[in-house]
Amino acid sequence: MPDPMKIRATTVGDETEVKVLMSHEMETGQRKDGQGKTIPAWFIQNVSVTWNSKTVLSAQWGTAVAKNPFVSFRFKGGAKGDKITVTWVDNRAEKRTDESMIA
pLDDT at 2: 77
- Any idea what the Cα angle at residue 73 is, between residues 70 and 75, rounded to 5°? 155
CA distance 13 to 57: 19
Residue 55 near residue 49, CB atoms below 8 Å = yes
User: φ and ψ at 62, to 5 degrees?
Assistant: -130, -160
Residue 27 DSSP one-character state:
B
Band (22; pLDDT cuts 50, 70, 90) = very high
Tens-place pLDDT, residues 48-97: 999 999 999 999 999 999 999 999 999 999 999 999 999 999 999 999 99
Q: Report if pTM > 0.85.
A: yes
Domains of the chain with bracketed CATH:
6-101 (2.60.40.10)
